[in-house]
Amino acid sequence: MRLLDSNILIYASKIEFEDILLPLVVDPESLVSEITSLESLGYRGLHPMEKDFLEKVFKKKSPLSITQVVIDKAIELRQQRKMSAGDAIHGATAILHNLELNTRNEADFNWINGLKVVNPIP
């Protein structure tokens, strides 16, 4: 099972990445976090068609909750290295649920022990 980083969903909403990422997004093994909807739908460069795509994705996926345990782990990660709150939540969620993290930004996460990071975009 895998957790999709926000950037993967944003790329998946773009026509040029549709063939590569759409199968990954619709796969039941692909999960999202509550932070993913905030980051993806809050992306300021979003085209209305991309927004529509993302809204449909979030209606079909049940996001993993940002629990206190996730927050505590995210705090621990941020204490180790400078990272955004969103990245810390993605990393913490993936670790706590034993998921690989699919992201375009491998360097933001590859330092985290016990986290498998995969870039699905060749």
**Which CATH number do you get for residue 37?**
3.40.50.1010
Task: Describe the crossing of helices 68-80 and 85-96 by its angle, rounded to 10 degrees.
Answer: 120
Could you read off the pLDDT tens digit of each residue along the chain, which spans 122 residues? Answer: 999 999 999 999 999 998 999 999 999 999 999 999 999 999 888 999 999 999 999 999 999 999 999 999 999 999 999 999 999 999 999 999 999 999 999 999 999 999 999 999 98
Secondary structure, 3-state, the chain: CEEECHHHHHHHCCHHHHHHHHHHHHCCCEECEHHHHHHHHCCCCCCHHHHHHHHHHHHHCCCECCCHHHHHHHHHHHHHCCCCHHHHHHHHHHHHCCCEEECCCHHHCCCCCCCCEECCCC
pLDDT of residue 45: 85
Q: What global pTM score does this model have?
A: 0.93
pLDDT of residue 71: 98
Cα–Cα dist 13/68, whole Å:
30
Number of domains comprising the chain: 1
Closest C-alpha to 4, from 111, 117, 114: 117
81: containing domain: 2-118
Cα–Cα dist 10/5, whole Å:
9
